[in-house]
Structure 1
Amino acid sequence: MTHTTRPLKERFELLRTFGLDRVDPRLDEMAAALADEAGMPYAMINIFHPATGGQHFVGLAAPRGGRWPTVQRTMAPDWGYCPEVPKKNGRALILPDVYEMARFAGNPVVDALGIRTYAGAPIVLSHSTESGAGVMVGTVCFVGTTPQPDEAGQAMAELVKRHRDEITRDLFQHAGLHPPELLPHRPITTSTAQEEGT
């Protein structure tokens, strides 16, 4: 299921149920834990706006001041690499060096923030673990300004997926719902980017 095909009312209700319709210091702490373990300056819990597709960082870890560019809580739907994740058939998107693929090298975040590496995994939620495929509402990701070697890709994938799973379980528990092991995510489209398992 894509992040745009469910009725808007249902998607807004889903975000409210899981507390993803607003910034939460708890989610900032989770993003900071990911950034620290990844050794990267930025990490986000990124939610796609149901109506506009705009990106909202309800959890954000980012350096303050110094040489690091400032990252705001929102980002246009055509900026960054998280909007590419829905095309990954429910898989993580891992880009050790964004320059290795021309269509990723030209992204606005490369010029604006100096981003050179990215790892993101989809957040899939549902009101019920018995309702079939969940809804992809956003991503958990980290980004950095130093390119990583190709051989780092597997470790990046395992790290971002582990934190995604921990965050997903926390979201279910915080909402008073039983957390599933992993909600199935219906295939979307084929992407030429490097694919990692869910």
Structure 2
Amino acid sequence: MDPQTPDQARQSGERRTRRLQKLRLNGPDPEPEFDRIAGIAASLTQAPLAMVNFINADQQMFRGMYVPPSDPDGDGDGDGRAIAFDLSDLPAEIPREAPINYGFCPHVVAQGSQLALDDVFAYPRFKGNPLVNEMGVRAYLGTPLRDHTGMILGTLCVADMKPRQWGTARKESMQQLAETLLSEFRLRDSLLAQQQEMFAIFDRAPFPIMLTEGPDHLLRYANARQGTAFGRVRQLSPGRQVLSALDAVGVFNAMDHAYRTGQTMTLPEAQITSFDSLTPQRFTFTCTPVRLSPSAPISGVLTVAMNITDQPTTESEPRQFAQDFKNQLENLSPGNTGWPQPGQGNESSVFLR
């Protein structure tokens, strides 16, 4: 494969980031399924280190990882070698994250094919990599991790602290193991499609609603009324930045509190000149934390607005709507598997651009 130009690499990284965001894989949070796959990879190849590594435009995220257990008796790994693996050079608060130039996985993604390094020192281009200098890695085998649409999302990789021959059988086994994750990505897309059907029902609500993800309040969904009142915005945009008028009156502060505490927050009254009015209007905002299942951690905030300019302040209707929406979302998603992604294939129908 011909090397990408810097502009092509940037565009590929942006597309990959967007796909990972939609699948809710754009972060370093560990998942048992990916940890299990990493463990199988280590077992198949007899390697001391294995990872399921998703790579966006800026960083690497090890959502699956196998690291050999510590050996307090100093017996090593059974063949006379002591295994030393230290993650201290990675950010202490997010140990499963690394810079984009760290290691060999970004090369696998860029070239779109498996990369086998029996001895890193035999390749001048890789010899000075931080993974070699800081962690002592001498052998590496990385396989592209493709989803069912054909897009490369990252790698399934193994590494060793000594030179070794990976061999054809191990290379093929790693390829087959990577392909087993196709069903995981297909399942996530299926759940997103089901959630899209649910959103189509709520899109007809007569008041503005939006669903955001994470502490940065990435906009996942907004109904037509939200766009009419507060502006049409692009999917996955950071809400605080693109909806500055709402931020100015304290809506995102209330959303911050709801996300952080898990408690529904109400902004009783905020005066805004909405896009569909020439005069200032009075709104109340109800910010409800949401989860992807009843036992999952808080994933985002559902914000419901109501125009109270010509009527008494009331909280019951938006609170009831938010509760109904929240209950349906939690019941639809079996576990922390994927975020709702509105408008798949036709985003303009439910999510505002």
1:135 deviates by: 2.5
Partner residue, 1:91: 113
Residue 5 of structure 1 aligns with which residue? 11
For the structure 1 residues 111 and 7, does the alpha-carbon distance in structure 2 shift closer, same or farther, using more than 3 Å as the test? closer
Percentage identity across aligned positions?
28
Q: Does 1:14 align with 2:22?
A: no
| 1:1-198 matches, cutoff 5 A | 4-6=10-12, 8=14, 11-21=16-26, 22-50=29-57, 52=58, 54-66=59-71, 67-71=83-87, 72-88=95-111, 90-125=112-147, 129=149, 134-149=150-165, 152-176=166-190
The whole-number CA distance in structure 1 between the counterparts of 2:35 and 2:188 is 15
User: Structure 1's 3 and 176: CA in aligned 2 closer, same or farther, altered over 3 A?
Assistant: farther
In structure 2, what is the Cα distance between the partners aligned to 1:11 and 1:78?
A: 16
The answer to whether the 8 A contact 1:41-1:63 is kept is: yes
Q: Which letter does structure 2 place at the counterpart of 1:79?
A: Y
Q: Secondary structure of the residue that 1:147 maps to in structure 2?
A: coil
- The higher relative CO (CA closer than 8 Å, separation ≥ 6) is in 1
Q: Report the Cα distance in structure 1 between the residues aligned to 2:175 and 2:13, rounded to whole angstroms.
A: 27
Q: CA deviation at 1:96?
A: 1.5
Partner AA of 1:77 in structure 2: I
Q: Kindly provide the amino acid, as one letter, of the partner of residue 167 in structure 1.
A: L
Length-normalised TM-score, structure 1: 0.72
- The count of corresponding residues between Structure 1 and Structure 2 is 165
Q: Given the superposition, is the C-alpha separation of residues 155 and 105 from structure 1 closer, same or farther in structure 2, using an over 3 Å criterion?
A: farther
Q: How far off is 1:166 after superposition?
A: 1.1
Q: What's the offset of the Cα at 1:136?
A: 1.9
Contact 1:94-1:156 within 8 A present in 2 as well = no
Q: Is the 8 A contact 1:3 1:136 kept in 2?
A: no
Residues 69-104 of structure 1, C-alpha deviations (whole Å, 9 max, x = no match): 23331111111110111332x211111111211111
How far 1:4 moved relative to its partner?
A: 3.9
Q: Which residue of 2 aligns with 1:193?
A: none
* 1:114 Cα deviation from its structure 2 partner: 1.4
- 1:55 maps to a residue whose letter is Q
The aligned amino acid for 1:168 is L
Aligned partner of 1:137: which letter? L
What TM-score do you get using the length of structure 2 for normalisation?
Answer: 0.42
Q: RMSD over aligned Cα, in angstroms?
A: 2.5
Alignment correspondent of 1:187: none
What is the identity, as a one-letter code, of the residue corresponding to 1:47? Answer: F
**Which ranges of structure 1 fall in alignment gaps of 5 or more residues?**
178-198
Note the C-alpha offset of 1:14: 2.3
Q: Give the 3-state SS of the residue equivalent to 1:122 in structure 2.
A: strand
What amino acid sits opposite 2:11 in the alignment? T
How many angstroms apart in 2 are the aligned matches of 1:159 and 1:3? 29
